Structure 1
Amino acid sequence: MIFILNKTNTIANSFLAEMRDVNIQQDKQRFRHNQEKLGEILAYEISKTFKYTPEEIQTPLGICNINLPGAAPVLGTILRAGLPFHQGFMNYFDQSESAFITACRKVKRSGDFTIRIDHISTPNLDGKTFILCDTMLATGQSIVDVCKELMATYKIANLHIAAVIASTVGIAHVQANLPKAKIWVCAVDEEMTSKSYIVPGLGDAGDLAFGDKA
């Protein structure tokens, strides 16, 4: 399944518009905060898919019956661009453990590239719900490679992929290689450049959030 947030008009459009705007996005704090707010919104939407059990809560005046979710999901992100987006999920799933992955593109002279995963730091994911948060889902290659690496070690019960902006090509790649994953994005763009940047997209999310790489 795939959920696209901006198919319904909400205040989230304003946060996404500011992230895309070439003038507003130069304010790094605002750019990071908009990612965080969109992470919170998608966390809320994903929470609708969880299993809930009825609980009795003692108030000062009586008993309140309410349905509460079970175990918190594990949240993961690929350093560094996804950190503010990941923080938005942590704000809502505040009892969650987190996984952090370092991965980078190794570009060949032809312009083609492979993904090199340098390090994974994760809690045990066996039987857990895992949400991988990454700002941009461009080719989908890094997300697929990371998930397959984790799935080779752990039996993940429920896999969710969350992104701010995705390309149609990236979504197709994830669906083909991770057919059981649920995909959650704020917007989908149709095109990519020859260097696999999403168009219209928003540019390099990592540089905009944390500064240009040397």
Structure 2
Amino acid sequence: MTEHLTVVRHPLVQHKLSHMRDATTPTPVFRQLLREVSQLLAYEVTRDMALTTRRIDTPLQAMDAPVLDGPEPALISILRAGNGLLDGILELMPQARVGFVGLYRDEATLEPVKYYFKVPPLEGRMVFVVDPMLATGNSSAAAVSMLKEAGAVNLRFLCLLAAPEGVARMRAAHPDVPIVTAALDARLDARGYIVPGLGDAGDRMFGTK
């Protein structure tokens, strides 16, 4: 994967995303759709995982079959909303190591504030960072910086929606980290929310508003 930004325009992704944007979609349906979309997006973000071969016996003959190579990947969720993407991808890669970065956005400054950081050993692993919304990009860029300090080198960022401002912020801070998303929306509003967006992903996923 060489492009800095990949927008997955698959019809199923776009259809499910439209239902997630709908303000009348209830929390249980929103949560299920997020899980489904995360798995569809995972096919793109994992496209360049390394493969090797292993000798196996099929019912008909022996063959050198492709299997994943290298250490188990690491899935890093930016709390709390990142867990909605994490759960779906973890079903596809149950062997993955899992970590969490706790950041919240100061509503006055829009800057990230760290409150939790627990990750597995990252050296030599492909690291997938997940957060539904790439809005200002401040929290995402800060999380990636923390992960690099912890030893991560080969990183990918997966989100449901991105704003141009967030993409630009990530490109400036981490040009080596590709971004995969379901949509690049128009802009941020005065509060730093993605427009047209879908509201606060965490609130809609957990029913906290």
- TM-score using structure 2 length: 0.93
**1:25-84 deviation line (CA, Å, top 9, x unaligned):** xx2111111111111112111222112112222223322332212133100111111212
- Partner of residue 179 from structure 2, selected from 178, 183, 198: 183
In structure 2, how many angstroms separate the alpha carbons of the residues matched to 1:11 and 1:114? 34
Report the alpha carbon displacement of residue 107 of structure 1 after superposing the two structures with TM: 3.0
Match of 1:22 in 2: 23
Q: What amino acid is aligned across from residue 34 of structure 1 in structure 2?
A: L
Match of 2:54 in 1: 55
Give the conservation status (yes or no) of the 8 Å contact 2:136–2:165: yes
Give the conservation status (yes or no) of the 8 Å contact 1:43–1:93: no
Structure 2 unaligned spans of 5+? none
Provide the secondary structure at the position in 2 that maps to 1:113: coil
Is 1:164 equivalent to 2:167 in the alignment?
Answer: no
Give the conservation status (yes or no) of the 8 Å contact 2:130–2:157: yes
> Identity, % of aligned pairs?
30
RMSD: 1.4
Count of aligned positions: 205
Match of 2:140 in 1: 143
Match of 2:7 in 1: 4
Q: What amino acid is aligned across from residue 133 of structure 2 in structure 1?
A: M
Is 1:207 equivalent to 2:203 in the alignment?
Answer: yes
Report the alpha carbon displacement of residue 114 of structure 1 after superposing the two structures with TM: 1.9
In structure 2, how many angstroms separate the alpha carbons of the residues matched to 1:148 and 1:22? 34
Q: What amino acid is aligned across from residue 133 of structure 1 in structure 2?
A: V
Structure 1 114/91 Cα, relative in aligned 2: closer, same or farther at 3 Å?
Answer: same
Structure 1 unaligned spans of 5+? none
- TM-score using structure 1 length: 0.91
